[in-house]
Amino acid sequence: MAVVVNPAARVAVLTRRGKVYQAEAAFESNDTFYIGRKSLKGARAGELVVLRTDGRGRGEVVRRIGSQDSLAAVMEAVLIHFGVPRGFSREAEAEAARQAGMAYMDDSQRHDLTGLFTFTIDPDEAQDFDDAISLVDGPGDGESTLYVHIADVSYFVPYGSILDREAEEKANSVYLPVAVEPMLPPVLSSDACSLKPGVERKCVTVEMVFARPAAGSGSGGGGDDGDDDGMPAALEPSRTRFYRSAIRSRRRLTYNLVDDLFEGRGELEAELAGTLDRCRLLADALRAARHRRGALNIHTFEPEFRLDDEGGVTGVRPRPHSESHALIEEFMIAANEAVARFLETRGSECLYRVHEEPDPAAVDSLFDLLDDLGVPVPEFSLKKGTAQRAGQAVRELIRKLPAALSEQQRDSEVFGEIVLRSLKQARYHEANLGHFGLASRAYLHFTSPIRRYPDLVAHRALLNELHLQDWKPSRFDLVAAAEHSSENERRAAAAEHLGDDIVLARLLDQRLYHEGWDRRFEGEVISLIPSGLFVRFEECYEGYVHVSNLRGDYYAINEKGSALVGRRSGRPYRLGDRMTIRVVNIDKLRGKVELEPAR
């Protein structure tokens, strides 16, 4: 589904030619509007502005955003362009301030878990901490108990309140490289609900008892070797409990710090180091069992920006697929599944996170494309292809793909992205349709209620079943919430992608200023369209090569969609091919990079 930008707010950059002022659409088109002097409202050339247009090529400035050279102003413009709701009403802010005071109210009905050794693991730059973990041995011999503590946001956000309505309208927080638009006011998201270290906080805890894994019983190092080591196809808790709790986080850890510890760089106090080692073993076993039951193991590219003390961007690297990230991911998946199974068994109304089996025709096209690229694919017949058989074929492909690509010395991330584009998008739904990607029979989002509204819905559904909170939504309300949350998730993803592209373009421009524009780069073709191809280079940067820059021939995309092929020479530019390029032009405002083959 296409993302709809804000039709009422045309974001543009103001230009001046002689005495004539014009405004060029900033992001979505090449539209240009004439701006009369009386319609400038004090704006100057080079500023980003919001326009009201008359449909006849004229516009009026209704808001000045800031200079197009200011990254903060550009990020603000991106949020406005996509129609992301900004800020909160006075009523919501006042209600949030009142509700935040409840963080310090006595609540004797909660389970007191302040004595547990509890900690958080988050990115270095995180401001809102909505999950914490504890792991202890017992209660029985050979057992371990995992506690996943999630901020009790529904305690602070009454159902149907102005605060709740504005959170539902936003549906999620939006994270740009140097800007965040939170779903909840900061007095809640970054303070009263945030599981800060050394402060007692109110949570909803998922307590799960697992058979204690032995050292070496998992996949090791965050991967999955695919061998059968006698582990069960699913590692599920033998006992699960849900309740409201009070916790006190002992330490605020970061992914980088924990990865350093796992790799033998750095030290922590003995109790924390020992707990992390046991967490590592359990997460390893959970991951191995999940992949064994058929969960897809696909890694794709995502940039991770380095910020200075003033919040400026100083560098970028691919976001690592590290053990610390995988550890938290496995524990959150386990908690999400436990809540989903419980609510499904009770027939509770809630929002599920669903990912349906792939479309057989899409899988058939994917296999044709990969086969054309020389990548081995499983047998699959479209004539006999059901969605279930298509799903089984994709699972077999994913199991065998890493070894095949390694042998051919090809980038697994590029081909992982090709596979993902052929699958259906995950979404929210009022009925449980299962989750193909996770090979989960029931799944929902529960572990991030500070930043996702469907998680807040899951909390209310769970607490209602536990007779701790009254919540009785209509089926119509759930259907509307599922559709709205899915749409806003896509909108947030589009805004975040554009924000990433803009920052990457600025970083690349700075680099070429110092290294020279004649610099050559080695890259890989990551996608194709009839008019050209896209190349990723230096791990993080991406750019576009128009067919007119592929000189010496006329290039057209082939029938399989696997290559641009020269009509006379037959020379192909194939998906996954290495390519030496140079940068021709950088549009820093729009985050677009124009490339050409290096000669």
Q: Give the whole-angstrom CA distance, residue 86 versus residue 495.
A: 13
Give pLDDT, residue 231. Answer: 45
Domain contains 273: yes
pLDDT band of residue 229 (cuts 50, 70, 90) is very low
Q: Give the whole-angstrom CA distance, residue 93 versus residue 189.
A: 12
Q: Which residues of 399-431 are buried (b: 16+ CB within 10 A; e: fewer)?
A: bebbebbeeeebeebbbbbbbeebbeebbbbbe
Give pLDDT, residue 29. Answer: 75
Domain contains 46: yes
- Asked if residue 124 and residue 75 are part of one domain, the reply reads no
Amino acid, single-letter form, for residue 474: S
Q: In 3D, which of 339, 232, 239, 323 has the Cα closest to residue 276?
A: 323
Which of 38-42, 333-337, 496-500 is predicted with the least confidence, judged by mean pLDDT? 38-42
What's the pLDDT tens digit per position in 565-579? 999 999 999 999 999
Give CA torsion, residues 82, 319, 592, 569, to 10 deg.
-130
Which residue, of 500, 524, 554, is where some domain finishes?
500
Query: Mean pLDDT throughout 183-201?
Result: 97
CA dihedral sign, ordered 332, 334, 337, 342: negative
Does 363 or 385 have the greater pLDDT score? 363
* Residue with tokens 């006698």, as numbered in its chain: 230
Amino acid, single-letter form, for residue 570: G
Give pLDDT, residue 186. Answer: 96
pLDDT band of residue 223 (cuts 50, 70, 90) is very low
Q: Directed axis angle between helix 475-515 and helix 162-170, to 10°?
A: 60
What's the pLDDT tens digit per position in 290-335? 999 999 998 889 999 998 877 789 999 998 889 999 999 999 999 9
Give pLDDT, residue 214. Answer: 75
Domain contains 63: yes
Please tell me which of 203-207, 219-223, 405-409 the model is most confident about, judged by mean pLDDT: 203-207
Per DSSP, the three-state class of 96 is helix
Which of 304-313, 432-441, 508-517, 551-560 is predicted with the least confidence, judged by mean pLDDT? 304-313
pLDDT band of residue 537 (cuts 50, 70, 90) is very high
Number of domains into which the chain is organized = 4
Does residue 215 carry a pLDDT above 80? Answer: no
Query: Mean pLDDT throughout 527-546?
Result: 97
Query: Mean pLDDT throughout 62-79?
Result: 96
What's the pLDDT tens digit per position in 146-182? 999 999 999 999 999 999 999 999 999 999 998 999 9
Q: Is it true that the peptide bond before 139 is cis, omega within 30 degrees of 0?
A: yes
- Asked if residue 306 and residue 205 are part of one domain, the reply reads yes
Question: CA of 96: how far to CAs of 100, 157, 159, 322, 357, in Å?
Answer: 6, 8, 13, 36, 41
- Asked if residue 476 and residue 565 are part of one domain, the reply reads no
Read off the tokens for 257: 């710090």
Give pLDDT, residue 1. Answer: 45
3-state secondary structure 304-358: EEEECCCCCEEEEEECCCCHHHHHHHHHHHHHHHHHHHHHHHHCCCCCEEEECCC
Query: In terms of DSSP H, where are the helices of 30-89?
Result: 71-81
Which residue, of 81, 104, 138, is where some domain finishes?
81
What's the pLDDT tens digit per position in 426-461? 999 999 999 999 999 999 999 999 999 999 999 999
Q: Give the whole-angstrom CA distance, residue 65 versus residue 77.
A: 7
Domain contains 395: yes
For residue 1, the 8-state DSSP code is -
Query: Mean pLDDT throughout 235-242?
Result: 93
Query: Mean pLDDT throughout 460-474?
Result: 95
Structural domain including 395 reads 360-423
Query: Mean pLDDT throughout 556-570?
Result: 95
pLDDT band of residue 234 (cuts 50, 70, 90) is low
Q: Give the whole-angstrom CA distance, residue 355 versus residue 368.
A: 23
Q: Are the beta carbons of 92 and 187 closer than 8 angstroms?
A: no
Q: Give the whole-angstrom CA distance, residue 293 versus residue 445.
A: 20
- Asked if residue 274 and residue 199 are part of one domain, the reply reads yes
Find all residues with CB under 8 Å of 215, minimum gap 6, and list them: 281
Domain contains 68: yes
Q: Are the beta carbons of 505 and 583 closer than 8 angstroms?
A: no
- Asked if residue 96 and residue 177 are part of one domain, the reply reads yes
Does residue 598 carry a pLDDT above 60? Answer: yes
- Asked if residue 36 and residue 127 are part of one domain, the reply reads no
Domain contains 394: yes
Q: Give the whole-angstrom CA distance, residue 14 versus residue 34.
A: 10
pLDDT band of residue 55 (cuts 50, 70, 90) is confident
Give pLDDT, residue 309. Answer: 77
Q: Give the whole-angstrom CA distance, residue 422 versus residue 398.
A: 13
Give pLDDT, residue 588. Answer: 96
- Asked if residue 558 and residue 448 are part of one domain, the reply reads no
Does residue 7 carry a pLDDT above 80? Answer: no
Q: Give the whole-angstrom CA distance, residue 279 versus residue 267.
A: 16
| Mean predicted lDDT score pLDDT of the chain | 92
Q: Are the beta carbons of 166 and 96 closer than 8 angstroms?
A: no
- Asked if residue 310 and residue 208 are part of one domain, the reply reads yes
Question: CA of 470: how far to CAs of 154, 159, 467, in Å?
Answer: 11, 9, 7
Neighbours of 263 (CB within 10 A): 11
Q: Give the whole-angstrom CA distance, residue 303 versus residue 177.
A: 10
Query: In terms of DSSP H, where are the helices of 146-297?
Result: 153-156, 162-170, 186-187, 255-262, 270-292
Give pLDDT, residue 126. Answer: 83
Amino acid, single-letter form, for residue 247: I
- Asked if residue 65 and residue 144 are part of one domain, the reply reads no
Give pLDDT, residue 308. Answer: 84
Which residue, of 379, 402, 423, is where some domain finishes?
423
Q: In 3D, which of 378, 224, 255, 399 has the Cα closest to residue 322?
A: 255
Instruction: Count Cα neighbours of 521 within 13 Å in the Cβ-side half-sphere.
Output: 24
Domain contains 2: no
Q: Are the beta carbons of 40 and 21 closer than 8 angstroms?
A: yes
Give pLDDT, residue 220. Answer: 47
- Asked if residue 292 and residue 177 are part of one domain, the reply reads yes
Give pLDDT, residue 270. Answer: 87
Q: Which residues of 93-108 are buried (b: 16+ CB within 10 A; e: fewer)?
A: bebbeebbeebeeebe
Read off the tokens for 580: 């030496």
Does residue 226 carry a pLDDT above 60? Answer: no
- Asked if residue 253 and residue 343 are part of one domain, the reply reads yes
Query: Mean pLDDT throughout 355-364?
Result: 96
Domain contains 576: yes
Query: Mean pLDDT throughout 491-500?
Result: 97
Read off the tokens for 366: 């994917």
Q: Give the whole-angstrom CA distance, residue 192 versus residue 208.
A: 26
- Asked if residue 129 and residue 161 are part of one domain, the reply reads yes
Read off the tokens for 106: 């006595």
Give pLDDT, residue 212. Answer: 87
